[in-house]
């Protein structure tokens, strides 16, 4: 689904007030990237229209999240010689070391959309806390870069522009989610955030207060729906209801019975595929069974029954479905984890992402120019 949330920041209030929302089926999108521009524009316009009607505001600018199979993270190291004669470390030296980290990346048609410093060493010794003012000769840095396909990013920006909306900034979906779902304590001790979307599942790992890994898998909750539809020879709509446990067996006086055992087996088989991919990635980054805050699940697929139970059994870690305190005790459809990305973007706009200043502002301006030129060529 394509979702839009309109928020209002009130002076003195910690959280934004949500004043409107809209959603529409995602057309023209496959595994998180655009395959049919016109269909994707239609979907976005439909969601925007709903959000505008419910909020009473014409939407002209927006923050946009990116996800999909090309969203990944890469770690790189770099260094810089301290520039001041007295050896005092300045912000310029830190930025030069981080820039060297980026220069050492092998991007191959990818662009950096966000950067997260992981560690620093001054003359071979690790430095914790503030670097500015310390004295030394050589500064070494290690940083995590969130990358995305240039082509996919340009296509997305084109869709947003042709829907009549100016993109203020791009934020990686896991970062937006973490701002409202994860606590600082969880991020410090070690936690994995799993976003189960329709066609993809993303795994983001946080430790010592920082993002340390993002990986996206080509499997999502729609695969479970398809398996149920094939297993019971039923329409996709009915299979979706069975997956979420919302289907009533009484239909127009006719009783349809589905084997609960068979249904559980179908769901568990596909969930096991997802958990196996997660486990393999955790082993790769040496965090298998080593995240004290465990697994936190969000996205439309987080509503699947037995998810937590099966996760605990396979991954050997505490598991829970993500929630947010953003609404207090209010009852709203936005409590559904499927809405958390859009809501997380609101939190990101108010400084929830503590490295937002290191995002791709320069790249973004270049991409906006490219898209502007492309859209002009497409207009009559």
pLDDT tens sequence across 210-225: 899 999 999 999 999 9
Q: Report residue 361 CA to chain centroid gap.
A: 19
Summarize pLDDT for 347-359 with one digit per residue, the tens.
776 544 433 334 4
Cβ contact 346:323 at 8 Å = no
| Distance separating alpha carbons of residues 100 and 84, to the nearest angstrom | 18
Q: What is the mean pLDDT of the chain?
A: 84
| Distance separating alpha carbons of residues 28 and 10, to the nearest angstrom | 36
Q: What is the pLDDT of residue 190?
A: 96
Cβ contact 183:258 at 8 Å = no
| Distance separating alpha carbons of residues 166 and 85, to the nearest angstrom | 45
| Residue 290 tokens, joined | 């080593």
CB-hemisphere CA count at 13 Å for 256? 13
- Dihedral angle sign, alpha carbons of residues 103, 108, 109, 115: negative
CATH fold label, 72-149: Dna Ligase; domain 1 (3.30.1490)
pTM to 2 decimals? Answer: 0.81
Region of poorest pLDDT, from 224-233, 247-256, 315-324 = 247-256
Residue 368 has pLDDT above 50, yes or no: no
Kindly list the domain boundaries of the chain, sorted by start residue.
72-149
Q: What is the DSSP letter of 330?
A: -
Terminal-residue alpha carbon distance, the chain: 30
| Distance separating alpha carbons of residues 99 and 112, to the nearest angstrom | 12
Q: What is the pLDDT of residue 214?
A: 94
């Amino acid at each position: 689904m394509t979702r839009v949330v309109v928020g209002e920041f009130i002076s003195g209030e910690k959280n934004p007030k949500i004043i409107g929302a809209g959603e529409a089926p995602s057309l023209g999108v496959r595994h998180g990237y655009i395959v049919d521009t016109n269909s994707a524009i239609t979907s976005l316009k439909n969601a925007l229209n709903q959000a505008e009607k419910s909020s009473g505001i014409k939407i002209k600018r927006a923050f946009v999240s990116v996800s999909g199979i090309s969203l990944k993270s890469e770690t790189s190291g770099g260094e810089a010689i301290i520039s001041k004669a007295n050896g005092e470390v300045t912000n310029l030296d830190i930025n030069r070391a981080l820039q060297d980290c980026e220069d050492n990346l092998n991007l191959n048609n990818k662009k950096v959309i966000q950067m997260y410093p992981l560690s620093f060493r001054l003359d071979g010794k690790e430095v914790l806390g503030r670097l500015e003012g310390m004295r030394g000769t050589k500064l070494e840095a290690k940083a995590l870069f969130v990358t995305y396909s240039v082509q996919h990013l340009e296509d997305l920006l084109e869709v947003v522009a042709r829907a009549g909306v100016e993109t203020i900034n791009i934020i990686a979906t896991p970062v937006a989610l973490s701002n409202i779902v994860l606590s600082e304590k969880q991020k410090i001790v070690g936690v994995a955030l799993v976003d189960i979307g329709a066609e993809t599942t993303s795994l983001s790992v946080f430790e010592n207060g920082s993002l340390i890994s993002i990986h996206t898998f080509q499997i999502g909750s729609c695969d479970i729906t398809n398996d149920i539809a094939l297993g019971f020879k039923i329409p996709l709509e009915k299979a979706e209801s069975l997956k979420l446990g919302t289907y009533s067996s009484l239909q127009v006086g006719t009783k349809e019975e589905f084997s609960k055992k068979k249904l559980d087996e179908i769901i568990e088989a596909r969930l096991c595929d997802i958990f196996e991919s997660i486990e393999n990635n955790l082993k790769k980054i040496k965090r298998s069974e080593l995240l004290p805050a465990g697994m936190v699940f969000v996205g439309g697929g987080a509503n699947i029954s037995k998810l937590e139970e099966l996760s605990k059994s396979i991954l050997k870690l505490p598991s829970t479905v993500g929630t947010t305190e953003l609404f207090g005790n209010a009852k709203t459809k936005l409590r559904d984890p499927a809405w958390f990305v859009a809501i997380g973007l609101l939190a990101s706009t108010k400084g929830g992402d503590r490295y937002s200043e290191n995002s791709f502002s320069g790249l973004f301006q270049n991409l906006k120019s490219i898209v502007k030129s492309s859209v002009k060529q497409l207009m009559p």
